[in-house]
Amino acid sequence: MLEILWQPATLISLVTLTLMEIVLGIDNIVFIAILVSRLPRPQQAGTRRVGLVLALVMRLGLLFSITWIMRLTAPLFVVLGQGFSGRDLILIGGGLFLLAKASLEIHDRLEGGPSEHLPAAGRATVAWTLGQIILLDIVFSLDSVITAVGLAPLVAVMVIAMVLAVGFMLVFAGAIGDFVNRHPSMKILALSFLILIGVLLIAEGMGQHISRGYAYFAMAFSLGVELLNMRLRKRPQPVTLRSRYESTGG
């Protein structure tokens, strides 16, 4: 087994799959960061770590149930000529949940709902937050495992890649979450990303495959524009004749 793992082709598939798992885990990190931000600050780091460990456990559990996963792709029923499998229903349900959750969060931040006037502990509990993380982990893990099966020839390679990817997320999830929480505009952008991911999941479940590359390019482009805007807002504004005139009371 060790000889097979050290072969060049196996190492290439391991590196490729690890990078793919990290990319696929970005939306998971964003979702967890949004959820734990409603918890009291002392509980956020621990809940974030538990959520990512649950994501790893979910991925490994599904990976070792690969026969069951393959059965999920068999059509269960047909509507208007379109067959729907168990995987399709899970993706559609997860997409609808993401759309609803992200839309409610955006509305709450823009309109200032009742939860804003409650203490953080009253807005969310660790159990409720973990429950939502587990629900979405099922959807993200399903996508992750199906991708792993298509890219790697050995189960051992898939396990190592998933452990490495989650380890990477554990290291950087805190920094990403703190950055999102410090910048309100970045939080709205992150919620918009979740809406985009939700639409992609629903489209995938409806049989309309849209390459994730397009979505990630749009997300990266939007993030780049927002970072430029943040840097521009930090620059001191030039003093004009009008502002100088107004400051002197003339």
The model's pLDDT over 141-195, given as tens digits with 9 standing for 90+, comes to 776 676 666 665 567 777 888 888 888 888 888 887 777 777 777 778 878 888 8
Would you say the pTM of this structure is higher than 0.85? no
Domain-embedded: residue 21: yes
Structural domain boundaries enclosing 98: 2-211
pLDDT band of 119, cuts 50, 70, 90: very low
Domain-embedded: residue 119: yes
Q: CA 32, 24, 76 angle in degrees (round to 5)?
A: 95
Is the pLDDT assigned to residue 9 strictly greater than 80?
no
Distances (CA, A) of 16 to 43, 158, 161, 165, 234: 34, 11, 9, 11, 38
Domain-embedded: residue 241: no
Is the pLDDT assigned to residue 73 strictly greater than 60?
yes
Mean pLDDT of 126-152: 74
Lowest mean pLDDT among 16-20, 67-71, 88-92, 182-186: 67-71
Q: Write the burial class of residue 161 (CB in 10 Å: 0-12 exposed, 13-18 middle, 19+ buried).
A: buried
Q: CA 174, 196, 175 angle in degrees (round to 5)?
A: 10
Mean pLDDT of 199-228: 81
Domain-embedded: residue 231: no
pLDDT of residue 130: 85
Domain-embedded: residue 221: no
Number of independent structural domains in the chain: 1
Q: Report residue 237: phi and psi, to 5°.
A: -75, 135
Domain-embedded: residue 32: yes
Domain-embedded: residue 224: no
Q: Which residue has the higher pLDDT, 140 or 238?
A: 140
Domain-embedded: residue 220: no
How far, in Å, CA of 160 to CA of 13, rounded? 11
- 13-40 pLDDT per residue, tens: 777 777 777 777 777 787 888 888 878 8
Tokens of 108: 């709450």
What is the Cβ-side half-sphere exposure of residue 23, based on CA atoms within 13 angstroms? 15
How far, in Å, CA of 232 to CA of 129, rounded? 35
Tokens of 153: 């020839």
pLDDT of residue 114: 46
pLDDT of residue 6: 61
> CB pairs under 8 A, 24+ apart, for 234-240?
none
pLDDT of residue 112: 62
Question: How does DSSP classify residue 39?
Answer: S
